[in-house]
Amino acid sequence: MKAVLYKDIQFVEMSHIKKPIITNSEALIKVKYAGICGTDLHIFDGLHPRVRPPLVMGHEISGIIDELNIVRNDIKIGDRVIIDPLISCGHCLPCREGSPNLCPNLKLVGIDQNGGFEEYVKIKDDKLYKIPNSLPLDLATLVEPIAVAVHAVRKSKLLVGDKVVIMGGGPIGQLVAQICRINGASSIVLSEIQPERLNFAKKMALITVSSKEETIKKIMEITKGEGADIVYEAVGIQATYNYITELVKVGGKIITIGAANKPIALDMWKVYFGELNLMGTHVYTPKDIEIGVELLNDYPKVFRPFISKVIGLKDLQAELKGLVDGTSKAMKVLVKL
């Protein structure tokens, strides 16, 4: 079958590899679309510590069941599906308590086993989610990043009328903004410095700011000096944490989404005296995926603009290079197989 293999830093190549052979409790999926994620860019740039080439990247996958060797009676060959790419052990305390996303041995399709930038991908049966016929397969590819945003909003316990700030206008931050809107946030301020992302946010009818001073001024204006109910941090850098405690109200919430690559300093004095609630979030649970499917099916017009372009497998090297060096500006790029 055709596959694009990651072979070296900033180098992937169209190849022909053996079609996977499924065993017990597995399915073979004919990939229709696979999304490019920030994680794929880290791999491409040689920055992921677990990846060893050759590897087929891609974990945002939609497709059709081609073969089955499972006991589930709710799916069949020909069904349209998306996958949960998380690979958890199933035995540790978090797994037993319903939080497989917190498994200490967590692995991922497209990192620890071949992913979606190939014609067929092998997946465990419990990682398959059948999607409605009304949900197009290209749009369904967004379920995985939407699940990340859903998880963060659910953990924050957003209430109707809440005023929120999102730090970071990448795909996840922008998705958080839209899910907050769907769930009744009364005002949403998105802070970002990249012009293309700011323009996207404006087109999505968000309040946009682009500096520390502007962010603080705008949220204090909206809240009459009280601060936001919730601040979602979707960047994972020190610069945003330097003033994040100035944006949130007394007793408010700071939800961390962005993955920092080194320790972050935070003004714990303000956390202490303001009784602020600081909460970490990590990827998603099966329930978040189910909600993601429902949201995409119910609000296709909200999420359709997130798909910036669709490319073929043969275009993947050029697109990954462009996204890494900044010459390609896109919210979400899909690979069509």
Once rounded to an integer, what is the mean pLDDT over residues 29-37? Answer: 98
> Angle at CA 85, nearest 5°, toward 61 and 305?
40
| Average pLDDT for the chain | 97
Q: Which pLDDT score, from 0 to 100, does residue 35 have? A: 98
Give the whole-angstrom CA distance, residue 310 versus residue 318: 13
Q: Which pLDDT score, from 0 to 100, does residue 66 have? A: 97
Q: Which pLDDT score, from 0 to 100, does residue 71 have? A: 78
Once rounded to an integer, what is the mean pLDDT over residues 172-181? Answer: 98
Burial group, residue 12, by CB count within 10 angstroms (0-12, 13-18, 19+): buried
Indicate the domain borders of the chain. 2-142+307-336, 148-280
| Alpha carbon separation from 86 to 72, 103, 321 (Å, rounded) | 19, 10, 26
Once rounded to an integer, what is the mean pLDDT over residues 219-236? Answer: 98
Q: Residues 39, 223, 240, 285: which is the catalytic one?
A: 39
Confidence of residue 44 (pLDDT cuts 50, 70, 90): very high
Residue carrying the six token digits 């909200």: 302
Once rounded to an integer, what is the mean pLDDT over residues 36-48? Answer: 95
Give the number of other CB atoms < 10 A from CB of residue 229: 22
DSSP class of 256: E
Tell whether the model's pLDDT for residue 261 goes beyond 90: no
The dihedral through the CA atoms of 11, 17, 19, 23 has a sign that is negative
| Alpha carbon separation from 168 to 57, 97, 188, 191 (Å, rounded) | 25, 31, 12, 6
Q: Residues 23, 42, 141, 151: which is the catalytic one?
A: 42
Q: Structure tokens of 330?
A: 């896109």
42 is catalytic: yes
Confidence of residue 103 (pLDDT cuts 50, 70, 90): very high
245 is catalytic: no
Confidence of residue 93 (pLDDT cuts 50, 70, 90): very high
Locate the DSSP E strands across 22-178.
Answer: 26-35, 60-69, 80-83, 86-87, 107-108, 120-124, 128-130, 163-167
pLDDT in tens, 306-315: 999 999 999 9
Class of domain 148-280 as given by CATH? alpha beta
Once rounded to an integer, what is the mean pLDDT over residues 54-67? Answer: 98
Give the DSSP letter string of 266-311: --HHHHHHTT-EEEE--S--HHHHHHHHHHHHH-HHHHGGG--EEE
Once rounded to an integer, what is the mean pLDDT over residues 287-293? Answer: 98
HSE at residue 215, side-chain half, CA atoms within 13 A, is 25
Q: Which pLDDT score, from 0 to 100, does residue 148 have? A: 98
Query: Is pTM, for the whole model, over 0.85?
Result: yes
Q: What is the CATH number of domain 2-142+307-336?
A: 3.90.180.10
